[in-house]
Amino acid sequence: MYLLGEQPAYADALINRLQRIPPRLLEGLAPSGDVLAVAPSRDLSSTLADSQLFLLESGQVQASVDERPLFYLHAGDLLGLRRGSELPRWQLSSEQPLSLIPYQRSAVFQHMYADEQRSELFLQYLIGQTALLSDAIARLKQPELHNSHGFQRVDTGAVLIRQGDEADHVFVIIEGHAQAFVDGHKVGDVPKDEIFGAMAIFTGEKRNASVIASEPCTLMLIPKNQFLSLTQSNPRITQSLIESMARRIDLLNKEVSRLHTLNSSL
């Protein structure tokens, strides 16, 4: 997905990474038919089956809402994810021939959610696209209306999350590395591509740990309401995220136990 207009370097880097995700999500899943050669069209949605998703093999698709162009889809993007949603309908059009690889929609989701890594990768794909659109909207608004949506670049030592604070965002480290602390004790690492800060969003409680950048980082920020809307529209994403958080909680508990045993022996 390429947004219209000038984009900052971190958005370009994220777009390039997102572009490589769909083929990985579909790896090991057979297409539902032969590659489709689609002629240029002002409304592709009317020619594509609702029961299928399509991997764009070649060509360029423009997405518009109310005839206002928003972004382009290029080779490697998925078409059809929004089918059946009640969100504002966008129009997909193309001024050049397309080559589309068809997949049965239900089979695609079964395939993704059958594997833990693929389901988390799909979550990153959706959150990444949401962040790109949020960032684009923020840059289009007047400066006084800008908010903290989108991306941030921080230096080593920056406090990304402070223990005890209210939770208003979910974060993803696009570049860099951070560490998690509870009551001043390190309890874990937060590497690149890690989604963090979601637990307090779900529970409504205050942050239970601090996260501090251990090197310069580029962060993707998802506002609380936007993140909850995304998870509510797809419960399987919530399930995948909860499973991921449960594994992290287990690791944190083991680290806390280790620190407690270490302190007791001193």
CATH class label, 2-112: mainly beta
Whether CATH 2.60.120.10 fits 148-264? yes
Written as tens digits, the pLDDT of the chain (266 aa) is 665 556 666 677 778 888 889 989 999 999 999 999 999 988 887 778 888 999 999 998 888 777 777 778 888 888 887 665 545 567 888 988 999 999 999 999 999 888 888 888 888 888 887 777 766 666 555 443 334 446 788 999 999 999 999 988 888 888 899 999 988 888 888 888 778 888 888 788 899 889 999 999 988 888 888 777 777 766 666 666 666 666 666 666 666 666 667 666 66
Equal fold, 2-112 vs 148-264:
yes
List the chain domain ranges: 2-112, 148-264
pLDDT number for residue 98: 93
Q: What's the whole-model pTM score?
A: 0.55
Q: What string of H, E and C letters represents the secondary structure of the chain?
A: CEECCCCCHHHHHHHHHHHCHHHHHCCCCCCCCCCEEECCECCHHHHCCCCEEEEEEECCEEEEECCEEEEEECCCCEECCCCCCCCCCCEEEECCCEEEEEEEHHHHHHHHHCCHHHHHHHHHHHHHHHHHHHHHHHHHCCHHHCCCCEEEEECCCCEEECCCCCCCEEEEEEECCEEEEECCEEEEEECCCCEECHHHHHHCCCCCCEEEECCCEEEEEEEHHHHHHHHHHCHHHHHHHHHHHHHHHHHHHHHHHHHHHHHHCC
